[in-house]
Structure 1
Amino acid sequence: MNYKGFLLIILFVVTDYTLAQQKTISANEAVALALEHNYGIKLASNELAVAENNKSVLNSGYLPTLVGNAGSAFNIDNTEAEFSNGSSTVLNGAESSRYNASINLNYTLFDGLGRSYNYKQLKLRYQLSELEARETIENTVFQLFTIYYNVAQLTENTSALKQTLQITKDRLLRSEYQFEYGQNTKLAVLNAEVDIINDSINLINTKQELINIKRDLNVVLGNTLTDNFSVDTEVDFNNLYSKAELFEKAKSRNVALLQIEKNISISGLDVKSGKSAYLPTVGLTGTYGWNKNNNNAASFVAVSTSTGVSGGLNLSWNLFDGGSTITRVKNSKINLESQLLQKEQLEIGLQRDFNNAWDAYQNALNIYQMQESNIVTSKNNFDRTEEKFKIGQVNSIEFRQAQINLLNAELSRNQMKFEAKLAELQLLQLCGELLNVEF
Structure 2
Amino acid sequence: MKKIELLALFIFLMGQGMVFSQEKLLSKDEAVSMALENNFGIRVAKNQVEIAENNKSVLNTGFLPTLTGNAGATYQRDDNTIEFPGQINADGSPRADVQIYKAEAQRYNSSLNANYVLFDGLGRFYNYKRLKEQYQLSELQARETIENTMLQLFSVYFEIARLTENENVLREALEISTQRIKRAEYAFEYGQNTKLDILNAQVDVTNDSINLLSTRLQLANTKRDLNVVLNRSLNESFKVDTLVNFIPRLQLEEYMAQAKLNNVALLQTEKNLAINAYDIKVNRSGYLPTLGLNGAYGWNLNQSAASAFFPGTNNENTRNFVLGASLTWNLFDGGGTTVRVKNSKIAYENQELLKEQVALEVDRDIKNAMAIYENRLNVFEIQEQNVITNQNNFERSKEQFQLGRITSIEFRQAQINLLNALTNKNLAKYDAKLAELQLLQLTGQLLNVDF
TM-score (norm 2): 0.93
1:183 to 184, 192, 196: 192
Q: Which residue of 2 aligns with 1:92?
A: 100
Deviations 1:144-185 (A, max 9, x none): 000000000000000011111111111121111111111111
Against the structure 1 CA distance between its residues 357 and 186, is the aligned structure 2 distance closer, same or farther, given a 3 Å change threshold? same
The DSSP-based 3-state class of the residue aligned with 2:258 is helix
1:164 to 173, 181, 194: 173
Task: After TM superposition, list the pairs within 5 Å mapping 1:399-414 onto structure 2.
Answer: 399-414=411-426
1:129 to 132, 138, 147: 138
For these two proteins, the number of residue pairs brought into alignment is 436
Task: After TM superposition, list the pairs within 5 Å mapping 1:27-426 onto structure 2.
Answer: 27-77=28-78, 78=80, 90=98, 92-93=100-101, 94-223=103-232, 226-241=235-250, 244-298=253-307, 299=310, 302-306=313-317, 307-426=319-438
The DSSP-based 3-state class of the residue aligned with 1:241 is helix
Against the structure 1 CA distance between its residues 183 and 5, is the aligned structure 2 distance closer, same or farther, given a 3 Å change threshold? same
Query: Is contact 1:247–1:431 with CA below 8 Å preserved after alignment?
Result: yes
Gap regions ≥5 residues in structure 1: none
Against the structure 1 CA distance between its residues 4 and 152, is the aligned structure 2 distance closer, same or farther, given a 3 Å change threshold? same
Shift in Å, 1:75: 2.0
Query: Is contact 2:113–2:296 with CA below 8 Å preserved after alignment?
Result: yes
Asked if 1:434 corresponds to 2:436, the answer is no
Distance (Å, rounded) in 1 between the aligned partners of 2:233 and 2:41: 15
Shift in Å, 1:304: 1.0
The DSSP-based 3-state class of the residue aligned with 2:249 is coil
Q: Which residue of 2 aligns with 1:6?
A: 7
350-359 vs 14-23, which moves further: 14-23
Q: Which residue of 2 aligns with 1:26?
A: 27
Against the structure 1 CA distance between its residues 61 and 2, is the aligned structure 2 distance closer, same or farther, given a 3 Å change threshold? same
Query: Is contact 2:228–2:234 with CA below 8 Å preserved after alignment?
Result: no
Shift in Å, 1:51: 1.0
Distance (Å, rounded) in 2 between the aligned partners of 1:216 and 1:393: 48
- Opposite residue 354 of structure 1, the aligned amino acid is I
Deviations 1:204-250 (A, max 9, x none): 10110000000000110111575321000011111132565322321
273-282 vs 16-25, which moves further: 16-25
The DSSP-based 3-state class of the residue aligned with 1:392 is coil
Query: Is contact 2:68–2:112 with CA below 8 Å preserved after alignment?
Result: yes
Against the structure 1 CA distance between its residues 317 and 90, is the aligned structure 2 distance closer, same or farther, given a 3 Å change threshold? farther
Distance (Å, rounded) in 2 between the aligned partners of 1:426 and 1:81: 97
Identity over aligned pairs, percent:
53
Distance (Å, rounded) in 2 between the aligned partners of 1:89 and 1:275: 70
- Opposite residue 102 of structure 1, the aligned amino acid is S
Query: Is contact 1:80–1:88 with CA below 8 Å preserved after alignment?
Result: no
Distance (Å, rounded) in 2 between the aligned partners of 1:355 and 1:287: 67
Q: Which residue of 1 aligns with 2:87?
A: none
Distance (Å, rounded) in 2 between the aligned partners of 1:102 and 1:322: 37
Query: Is contact 1:37–1:224 with CA below 8 Å preserved after alignment?
Result: no
Query: Is contact 1:60–1:119 with CA below 8 Å preserved after alignment?
Result: yes
Shift in Å, 1:8: 1.2
Larger radius of gyration: 2
- Opposite residue 346 of structure 1, the aligned amino acid is V
246-255 vs 395-404, which moves further: 246-255
- Opposite residue 7 of structure 2, the aligned amino acid is F
- Opposite residue 110 of structure 1, the aligned amino acid is F
CA RMSD of aligned residues (A): 1.9
Query: Is contact 2:123–2:282 with CA below 8 Å preserved after alignment?
Result: yes
Distance (Å, rounded) in 2 between the aligned partners of 1:327 and 1:156: 65
